[in-house]
A = this chain, B = another copy of it.
Amino acid sequence: MDKLYVIKIGGNIIDDENKLSSFLADFASIDAKKILVHGGGKLATKMAEKLGIEQQLVDGRRITDAETLKIVTMVYAGFINKNIVAALQSKNCNAIGICGADGDVILAHKRQHPVLDYGFVGDVDAINTDLISTLLNKNIAIVFAPITHDQQGQLLNTNADTIAQEVAKGMSSIFDVDLIYSFEKTGVLLDANDDSTVIPEINSSYYQQLKAKNLIFAGMIPKLDNSFAALKSGVGKVIIGKAENLPQLLDGSAGTSIVNE
């Protein structure tokens, strides 16, 4: 099987032009099939503020009303996605920017919740591996904006970590997939305020021990739960670490590797 890297880039890199450019240079130079999944950074929030649209957050998740969906579609699938693609093209990396509606590649449904209406938020049902494989096999990198659709004409705002995980899982029947969550921290830390306390490797029994001792930072738990779910679904390795260290994350010399055993 060919190697495929599915790389999620965190919001804080998107907001920093120099860091983003440096990250994209590293991404462009990866000599393998690759997918980049980006979130939105602070730009969508800023745009909403300028337009006088109030944002609601519940449990750290944006409630996506119709106006917010319009803004995230513009900012994520338009501005950020196309600027990343143009930057990669300038670095000799042929790339195509799409969202889940394009080529029907990510089918989702509007989230159902017994109490809360998240608005136009999508939970992923299926990945269309055929078109993704076709593009990768033409040596085109795919850049995903975190928007999906329901096949009924509705676009849906979808968590970028989830997109990365679902794409990695879906593609693992065809490729040897490594899933990389790159963000502002050096990895999973024993002390959230000390970048030198990165844990090099976590398997599921060690994860249970750390959780039982409350040594896992709350914000990291969904990422780790998602990582173990991805491993169970065929992803070969999950790596969590600092975006600036992308080459080292890929060669295993930095970050935290999440492994099955």
Contact = CB atoms under 8 A, between A and B. Distances in A.
Contacts of A153: 86-87, 89-90
Contact of A140 (B74, B81, B103, B154): B103
A131 interface: yes
B149 A138 contact: no
Number of identical protomers: 2
A73 B82 contact: yes
A9 interface: no
A73 B77 contact: no
B77 A82 contact: yes
A79 B89 contact: no
B154 A86 contact: yes
Question: Which of the four size classes fits the interface of chain A?
Answer: 35 or more
A104 B71 CA distance: 26
Contacts of A89: 101, 104, 149, 151, 153
Contacts of A149: 85-86, 89
A82 B99 contact: yes
Interface of A: 50-51, 70, 73-79, 81-83, 85-87, 89-90, 94-99, 101-104, 130-131, 134-135, 138, 140, 147, 149, 151-155
